[in-house]
Structure 1
Amino acid sequence: MQKKYFSSILLPLSILGFSQIPNFPNKEQLHPSAVQNYSTNNFTHPQKNQNIPALPSSFSSSNTSRIQQQNMTMVQNDFKRIEAEEKEKRQHKYYSDEIQKQESKIYLFNSLADKKGTKAYYTAFSNLSKFNPEDYSVTDAVFIVENAYYNDDKNFQSTFQNSIQKAVKIIQNQIISEKIDETDNSSKNLAIF
């Protein structure tokens, strides 16, 4: 263990110890004229020109009025662009509000309350609304809807339940005849299908 520990430490050290240090370039000697002169108050480079250029003689009042006109034109163009953008935003908001109004309209259709069978559908809707959404019988829900189609003239116990029991017997016979394992849910689902 100690041999591995020391060899893992000594190997990187030996590589570092026997490697050659690269030769870095020497720093050039700076000439005093290349260094800025900070002894004066103007803090400028000694080789730079100290003269500040004056305005050209052709720069007269006619040029300033032309520049002012150009500036005014640019400002007016900016205001027109901003106004066009705001107009576009207002139009977009107007159209989106109109679309929202159209989507939120309540369409009132003619009442079908006087038609035959309508009462059965209202009763079915009322019964389905009473179901607990977390725990309800799918069989009961399907029966309520189907019974509304038949205008509430079917008896749940005699008709609907009997047809479900017939379907269960058919599926059980198919599972037995095809020797499907009762613990294999996929095969049972295929048989039901």
Structure 2
Amino acid sequence: MNTPPRSGALRHHPAGHGRDVKLLGIYLNDHLAVDTLGAERAARLVRTSRGSALARALGPVAAEIAQDRTALLAVMRDLGVPVRHYKVCAGWAGEKMGRLKPNGRLVRPSPLGTVLDLEALRLAVEGKAAVWQTLHRLSATDERLDRARIEALLQRARRQQDTIEEWRLRQAEEALATTSA
């Protein structure tokens, strides 16, 4: 039995799909903020590890993360979801503030900093994979969402997760290895 939605629970957008556009906008803008943080963190990791194997491995991932952020903006545009710039700024500022964490050293960088940066990046990419999974599900009933494109973005996020995790484990082992005396 179909029951009508509660008053005000769903707003129908012009394409005729019943979806709470306000909640979808909040959800996508929250993910855009995290994508901003992730793109900034990835670019910084590549910059600070320039010339190393880590930079060579993360360079392509960082470029993809920036492209994925652009893809999310395109999806938002296709769905008629406005960008909330204050959330984008919060993501940008959050990444900058994350650099202020104590790392056990006063002047020079700590190898632990790279581990923590990789962990933050891993979380950002996991969040991105989650939004692609959600949008993939929604694409079954919303023709404005390109199901094949979203599936490709989801698979790419999973590959990014694998690369980041591999390097996180390497860096953690190196930074936290104990020497026997």
Q: How does the TM-score come out when normalised to structure 1?
A: 0.22
Instruction: Point out which structure has higher relative CO (alpha carbons under 8 A, 6+ apart).
Output: 2
Structure with higher Rg: it is 1
